[in-house]
A and B are shown apart, each in its own frame.
Chain A
Amino acid sequence: MKGYRDCELRINLKEKSIEKKTLNQEYVEKYMGGEGYGIALLWDDMPHEIDPFDDQNLLSFNTGPLTGTPAPSASRTSIVFISPLTGTIGASNMGSHWGAELKFAGYDSIVLEDAAKEPVYILIEEDQVSIHDAKALWGLDTRETTEELKKIHGENHKVVCIGPSGEKQNKLAAIFSDDCFAGRGGAGAVMGQKKLKAIVVRGNGSVEVADPEGFMVMQKKAIQELRTEEYTWGPVHGYGTPAWLDGSNECGLLPVDNFQKNQTDQLDPILPINLWNDREKFDVKRRTCYACQLGCHKFVMMGDVEVGELEYETIAAFGPRCGVYNYKDISMANYYASIYGIDTISAGATVSAAMEWYEKGILTQDDLDGLDLKFGNGEAMVELIRKMCLREGCGELFADGSYWAGERIGEKAKPYVMTVKKMEISACDPRGAASMAIAFGTSERGACHMRPYAATIDSFGYLFPDLGIEEAKDPFSETESKEWLKALKEYFVVTNLIGLCDFNVINMEIQPSTMAELYVKTTGIPCDKVELLRKAERTIALERALNYERGFRRKDDHLPKRFMREPAFGGPAKGRTIDMDVALDRFYEACHFDKETAIPTKEKYEELGMEKVAEALYR
């Protein structure tokens, strides 16, 4: 079994015990690795109904079999846990060089049990694993922590850490690694609860590949597929993810003023084409994840301020969503989110909900420490973000996201909370693409734009013949069959299992058969694209099972009522609302889910070879 390092590192933070195990072969066979491996661990090794802040919450960092190889952007680590934000499974994914370094050090997964009493950090240098006191680091921001640890252990060590937000267990807290974030779902808060400040890794070992020559051929093919996709290798390669702002706005997918609108005519001042090329405003640096072809990360300096990576989602969340079209305010909000370690999507969405509460008179200036939180007031937004990150003053109310803030404020506030399973919807208006309504609704970890990013197919008009999507799909039809969406979702999940980046598939670049071949050449395990998708299907089925055990049902797959009641403001979707019930029915039919419980049927579980799971669910 090449590709894998065949080692799972188990650390009990309370007892400070360290154990090295071989990988669970059954997990590898069924779920491949990465996210799937982590979910299988949650299912088997953790009581299913625990509170996310219980010591028993199992936090695992899982690389995929391709992580560390030269396959395009083979850098990904999936962090799996029970999410404090949503209460569902938490699966958050990040790039940077850390995952590859972990593979070089000799481990596929790190599994963290229990919680430490005092702040600690973990140091992994090949087979030397040790737990160190982190009292001196507690309170430092993400970049200071990284710098300090590199100073102590060496410049070439790779670091993941949390910032003050994670320490304070903000439910939006992210895990940070060289300005890459595992942002969604509050992974940072779980790390904070475990009093784990950082994991430092250095490795010198080899990731072996079963058929190096064959791998090189397939790697070249994959690179070719990426480089021949015009949008990916054009604007996204050049400007990074903000390149999508324009297209998203044109198709009426851009949330404006907390989803009151889905299009704006004020976008110009924050488009990358007007910012990235203006040296007076920004100095753009490039620092990508391991083995990345695309290079979407653009590290931005604004004068002396190291703003960090300004992504599409970040600009959309702090920009149009809050009615802010000032690049300075967006940058400063991102700066605070980066150094304190918080998810920018949820943070921006929470501020935009607060703005609507303020404008509707549900909150007053007295509730907001005097902030005049109107849509478009960038300075107030930045100040609120800072306060949220540190739980300062009125920030305490919003620190756990808009759902929990709404709960605390009361019934009046709830209609303006734009969340699914308590997680804030990211920057894509579901009224503009029926597939995205389903994607957000049925995502197992709460409103997630990467399960899958289906607007590419139905709204932007891409086709994907290798995945069976041969005809253009109607972006405004809930009634048409959603078989294609099932396949696309599975394919997006495959990237999380295998250790590649979603941007390899977002514009249908790398073909499923190429991906399957890459897996075969790396591991030597026979596989084709059908089996590849099946591994993802199993992972999704297991995630659904765990969510079911934690009390999630069909009603939790619904979107906020605004999308059913308020017609879309502009763009091609103008005047449209969503019929979520029909959309869910079509999708559940395609996936063979039970329409009431929203989990796969017993037969489906058995077909997937998951009899034990079926037994537990269908007692």
Chain B
Amino acid sequence: MKPGRIKIQVNANVCQGCRVCESVCSLSHIGAVNPNQTGIKITETKILGRFKQTVCQQCIDMPCASACPEKVITRDRYSGAVVIGDGCIGCGACQEACPIDAIQMWNNTAVKCDLCGGAPKCVEACPRQALSW
């Protein structure tokens, strides 16, 4: 795994776990708020007040794309994001291939961060500037 440069950067020290990033992500992608259909995931850790932020690193070597049997995962030339194109069959190979678990499977489709095509909504909504890009 070689993490990319253009990606959602996270400052874990200031995240307060409100999950508005998850919420706007799913709303802007699927038109509804669903905690499982988000490209970014915030989970509680054992340490109080510390949260784990899981979001795609837009890897240079793209292990998810290599694993995809349908070859629908490609790099968007405009935004630089690794995106899942049309034709996902929901096999889950990309999810398994992702070393940081940044791909979720929901309703037989893979869901991941696509940088909102170039202006990530989660960054705008984050109240503590825990996210940037």
Q: Counting chain A CB atoms within 10 Å of each CB, which of B43, B48, B121 scores highest?
A: B48
Question: Which residue of the partner chain, among A220, A288, A295, contacts B124 with CB atoms under 8 Å?
Answer: A220
Minimum C-beta distance from B84 to chain A (A): 19
| CA A293 to CA B125, docked complex, whole Å | 8
The reply to whether B34 and A288 form a contact with Cβ atoms under 8 Å apart is no
Q: B17 an interface residue at 8 Å Cβ cutoff?
A: yes
The reply to whether A207 and B33 form a contact with Cβ atoms under 8 Å apart is yes
Q: B128 an interface residue at 8 Å Cβ cutoff?
A: yes
Q: Residues 198-218 of chain A: 1 if any B CB is under 8 Å from the residue's CB, otherwise 0? A: 000001111111001001100
The reply to whether A289 and B18 form a contact with Cβ atoms under 8 Å apart is yes
The reply to whether B121 and A299 form a contact with Cβ atoms under 8 Å apart is no
Q: Residues 5-46 of chain B: 1 if any A CB is under 8 Å from the residue's CB, otherwise 0? A: 000000000101111100110111011111111000001100
Closest chain A residue to B20 by CB distance? Answer: A291
List 16 other contacts, CB 8 Å, given A212-B28, A216-B24, A293-B20: A97-B19, A203-B35, A204-B34, A206-B37, A207-B34, A209-B27, A215-B27, A216-B27, A286-B17, A288-B18, A290-B18, A290-B20, A290-B23, A293-B127, A295-B127, A306-B48
Q: B49 an interface residue at 8 Å Cβ cutoff?
A: yes
Could you tell me which residues of chain A, from 516 to 538, have a CB within 8 Å of some CB in chain B? Answer: none
Question: Which residue of the partner chain, among A209, A237, A285, A295, contacts B33 with CB atoms under 8 Å?
Answer: A209
The reply to whether B35 and A104 form a contact with Cβ atoms under 8 Å apart is yes
Contacts of A293 in B (CB 8 A): 18, 20, 127
The reply to whether B35 and A288 form a contact with Cβ atoms under 8 Å apart is no
The reply to whether A206 and B33 form a contact with Cβ atoms under 8 Å apart is yes
A-B residue pairs in contact (CB < 8 Å), sample of 24: A70-B20, A70-B24, A97-B19, A104-B34, A203-B35, A206-B26, A206-B34, A206-B37, A208-B31, A212-B28, A216-B28, A216-B121, A220-B124, A223-B125, A285-B48, A286-B128, A287-B16, A288-B17, A290-B18, A291-B18, A292-B16, A292-B20, A295-B127, A301-B48
Minimum C-beta distance from B47 to chain A (A): 9
Binding site for A on B (CB under 8 A): 14, 16-20, 23-24, 26-28, 30-37, 43-44, 48-50, 121, 124-125, 127-128
Q: A155 an interface residue at 8 Å Cβ cutoff?
A: yes
| CA A287 to CA B16, docked complex, whole Å | 5
The reply to whether B43 and A70 form a contact with Cβ atoms under 8 Å apart is no
The reply to whether B32 and A292 form a contact with Cβ atoms under 8 Å apart is no
Closest chain A residue to B29 by CB distance? Answer: A212
Asked, given contacts A155-B44, A287-B49, A291-B18, whether A69 binds B23 with beta carbons under 8 Å apart, the answer is: yes
Minimum C-beta distance from B73 to chain A (A): 24
Question: Which residue of the partner chain, among A204, A237, A291, A299, contacts B23 with CB atoms under 8 Å?
Answer: A291
Minimum C-beta distance from B24 to chain A (A): 5
Question: Which residue of the partner chain, among B18, B37, B44, B48, contacts A299 with CB atoms under 8 Å?
Answer: B48
Question: Which residue of the partner chain, among B23, B31, B36, B37, contacts A70 with CB atoms under 8 Å?
Answer: B23
Contacts of B37 in A (CB 8 A): 206
Asked, given contacts A290-B18, A295-B16, A295-B127, whether A69 binds B34 with beta carbons under 8 Å apart, the answer is: no
Q: A294 an interface residue at 8 Å Cβ cutoff?
A: yes
The reply to whether B128 and A295 form a contact with Cβ atoms under 8 Å apart is yes
Contacts of B20 in A (CB 8 A): 70, 290-293
The reply to whether A212 and B16 form a contact with Cβ atoms under 8 Å apart is no
Asked, given contacts A155-B44, A220-B124, whether A205 binds B34 with beta carbons under 8 Å apart, the answer is: yes
Asked, given contacts A295-B127, A306-B48, whether A288 binds B16 with beta carbons under 8 Å apart, the answer is: yes
Q: Counting chain A CB atoms within 10 Å of each CB, which of B16, B28, B43, B124 scores highest?
A: B16
| CA A398 to CA B20, docked complex, whole Å | 41
Could you tell me which residues of chain A, from 204 to 257, have a CB within 8 Å of some CB in chain B? Answer: 204-209, 212, 215-216, 219-220, 223, 237
Q: Residues 498-510 of chain A: 1 if any B CB is under 8 Å from the residue's CB, otherwise 0? A: 0000000000000
| CA A70 to CA B127, docked complex, whole Å | 12
Contacts of A292 in B (CB 8 A): 16, 18, 20, 127
Q: A156 an interface residue at 8 Å Cβ cutoff?
A: yes
Contacts of B18 in A (CB 8 A): 288-293, 295
Q: A188 an interface residue at 8 Å Cβ cutoff?
A: no
Closest chain B residue to A286 by CB distance? Answer: B16
The reply to whether B24 and A219 form a contact with Cβ atoms under 8 Å apart is yes
| CA A251 to CA B18, docked complex, whole Å | 33
Could you tell me which residues of chain A, from 301 to 326, have a CB within 8 Å of some CB in chain B? Answer: 301, 306
Question: Which residue of the partner chain, among B17, B33, B43, contacts A156 with CB atoms under 8 Å?
Answer: B43
Closest chain B residue to A208 by CB distance? Answer: B32
| CA A1 to CA B24, docked complex, whole Å | 20
The reply to whether A70 and B27 form a contact with Cβ atoms under 8 Å apart is yes
Q: 4 nearest interchain CB pairs?
A: A285-B49, A70-B23, A286-B16, A206-B32
| CA A204 to CA B33, docked complex, whole Å | 10
| CA A215 to CA B127, docked complex, whole Å | 18
Minimum C-beta distance from A132 to chain B (A): 23
Contacts of A203 in B (CB 8 A): 35
Q: A406 an interface residue at 8 Å Cβ cutoff?
A: no
Minimum C-beta distance from A522 to chain B (A): 10
Q: A430 an interface residue at 8 Å Cβ cutoff?
A: no
